[in-house]
Structure 1
Amino acid sequence: MKKVSPDLIRVVKDMNEADYAINIMLVQAYESLFNSDITAKQTILLEFVHKHGQLTVSELAERMKVTSSAVSQIISKLERAKYVRREINPLNRREILVRLDERGIEHFAKEEQMELSIIERFYSQLDYEEVVTMKNIVLKLKAIVEKELDEAGTLRDK
């Protein structure tokens, strides 16, 4: 591993502290749009289903690095609350497909509304070129982290 300069450590710590502070301020400002009745694991499962449209229980278990039984318990709670629904896969009747249900769809509509509000209120005050540069730097860092974690064998689903 490379030796890192104290200057780099200070700059990254300052940046991380600012990012953390921004996230806290945004959570507080948009608290009414957040679902406090959803746990972290339930949120992760919802994000995977939203991202992929539908997934099987075993695909969710693999992506979340937990057992199918654990995923089924999470799904049961989300299903009772109408965030997801289970359906038998018509192509393979032994598989259960998980899709967003009405409250899951509403959840992501609110998330989209919140994201657009944040863009309009805050990002619009930056120059477009600054936002593009920031995006490119974040994507470059993401690629570095993915590569390192993949090589170490610790990379979870992207």
Structure 2
Amino acid sequence: MGGNTGTDTVTTKYSGTDEELAARLRLAVGRLNRRIRIDDKESLPPLQLSTLVTVENHGPLRLSELARREAVTAPTMSRVLTALDEAGLVTRAADPGDARGVLISISATGVSRLAELRSHRTALIARRLDRLDDQQRNALEAALPALEALLVDEED
């Protein structure tokens, strides 16, 4: 395994400010995410992928609820859903609680496509992990609980 050894980040206390740590973390996570998107040529556009995951995790949902969850306007979400629907990744059904409403669900094709994308992206990250030495890999493993804690929303 390659890579430089750096300092022992598992046992060394971080000596910078919270702002410096936040900036470095933002930059590292953002660049890694961008690299994965660039390397993953078979992926969906980010908003389509995010919407599909939201529908998988919380569906069936109305367009307005999806737009709220994804922090976009209803017209933007409508365009995203049209693309996902045309690709066969979501289905639309009448809302039994409101005859005017439509509920969006993930299709079997959508479930399959998400599984493929997740597998492919995991493989992309695994190849990058192969470049790290044991010390760097151990530091990443030790940092995972803290990184996962950052994903918990304050209202959870």
TM-score (norm 1): 0.61
- Which one is further off, 16-25 or 54-63? 16-25
Aligned counterparts of 2:53 and 2:66: Cα–Cα separation in 1: 11
2:118 corresponding residue in structure 1: 112
Q: Does the alignment pair 1:18 with 2:24?
A: no
* Aligned length in residues: 136
Secondary structure of residue in 2 paired with 1:33: coil
Matches within 5 A, 1:1-158: 7-8=16-17, 9-28=19-38, 30-35=39-44, 38=45, 40-118=46-124, 120-121=126-127, 122=129, 126-127=137-138, 130-131=140-141, 133-143=142-152, 146-147=153-154
Alignment RMSD, CA only?
3.4
Question: Matched residue of 1:113: which SS?
Answer: helix
Q: What is the aligned-residue identity percentage?
A: 21
Q: Flag the 1:111–1:16 CA change in 2: closer, same or farther, 3 A.
A: same
Work out the CA distance in 2 between the residues paired with 1:24 and 1:12: 18
8 Å Cα contact 1:33/1:110 also seen in 2: no
Question: In 2, distance between residues paired with 1:140 and 1:64?
Answer: 21
Q: Deviations over 1:111-141 (max 9, x none)?
A: 22124424644289624x852x322212333
With normalisation by structure 2, the TM-score equals 0.62
The AA in structure 2 aligned to 1:135 is: L
User: What's the secondary structure of 2:41's corresponding residue?
Assistant: helix
Bigger relative CO (Cα 8 Å, ≥ 6 apart): 2
Specify the alignment match of 1:154 in structure 2: none
Segments of 5+ residues of structure 2 without an aligned counterpart are 1-14
- Secondary structure, in 3 states, of the residue corresponding to 1:32? coil
User: Quick one: structure 1 residues 134 and 101, their matched pair in 2 at CA, closer, same or farther if it must change by over 3 Å?
Assistant: same
The one-letter code sitting in structure 2 at the alignment partner of 1:141 is: L
